[in-house]
Amino acid sequence: MPAIDSVALDRLRQAAQEAAGNAYAPYSRFCVGAALLFDDGQVVTGCNVENMSYGLTSCAERNALFRAISERGAGRRIVAFAVANRNGAASPPCGACRQVMSEFVASDAVVTFPGEHGPETMPFAEIFPRSFHFEKPGRP
Ligand code: THU
């Protein structure tokens, strides 16, 4: 994993926790926040945004990622990713978010999330081994 000191990781967890305060979760009442750290020190956050249709709900992790790419492009390296919630529960990123993360988050990036017994921290490749990917086609 890249060298992320514990102070920077704590700050990232804190940013995710704050972002969870903006969650729009009137249906599940499960308020999630995510924060990602670029290699230049910039932090981008997101929260879950639910929808009355239920199926159109968007997770905190994907919202943070799509916001990050929208604001900064896909050229920079994401070196750490934190998830938090306001329910005092375990909340590792869901499977759909892991697949989306695999597009942009380096396999050795540090991922931290609330586990069953406190914070868990590991390289991205460990929570999402054997991701679906293929060689991007060249221009025709
Ligand atoms: N949720 C996230 O924001 N991230 C996840 O990785 C899993 C679930 C949200 C979706 C929904 O608003 C609520 O948590 C309950 O599933």
Q: Is the separation of the CB atoms in 48 and 61 below 8 Å?
A: no
User: Is 1 domain-assigned?
Assistant: no
User: Is 136 domain-assigned?
Assistant: no
- Does residue 16's CB lie within 6 angstroms of at least one atom of ligand 1? no
**CATH number where 44 lies:** 3.40.140.10
| pTM recorded for the entire structure | 0.96
User: Is 32 domain-assigned?
Assistant: yes
- Does residue 4's CB lie within 6 angstroms of at least one atom of ligand 1? no
User: Is 87 domain-assigned?
Assistant: yes
From 18, 61, 71, 135, the catalytic residue: 61
Helix (H) or strand (E) holding 95: helix 95-104
Domain count, the chain: 1
pLDDT tens track for 18-31: 999 999 999 999 99
Residue 61 bears catalytic tag: yes
Number of H helices, E strands in the chain: 4, 5
Q: Which atom in ligand 1 lies closest to the alpha carbon of residue 96? A: 6
Residues 6+ positions from 135 with CB-CB distance below 8 Å: none
Q: Is the separation of the CB atoms in 62 and 100 below 8 Å?
A: yes
Domain span at 28: 6-127
User: Is 22 domain-assigned?
Assistant: yes
User: Is 53 domain-assigned?
Assistant: yes
CA of 56 to the centre of ligand 1 (A): 12
Alpha-carbon distance 65 to 83, whole Å?
12
User: Is 90 domain-assigned?
Assistant: yes
Q: Is the separation of the CB atoms in 17 and 4 below 8 Å?
A: no
pLDDT values of the chain reduced to their tens digit, one per residue, 140 residues: 556 899 999 999 999 999 999 999 999 999 999 999 999 999 999 999 999 999 999 999 999 999 999 999 999 999 999 999 999 999 999 999 999 999 999 999 999 999 999 999 999 999 999 999 899 899 87
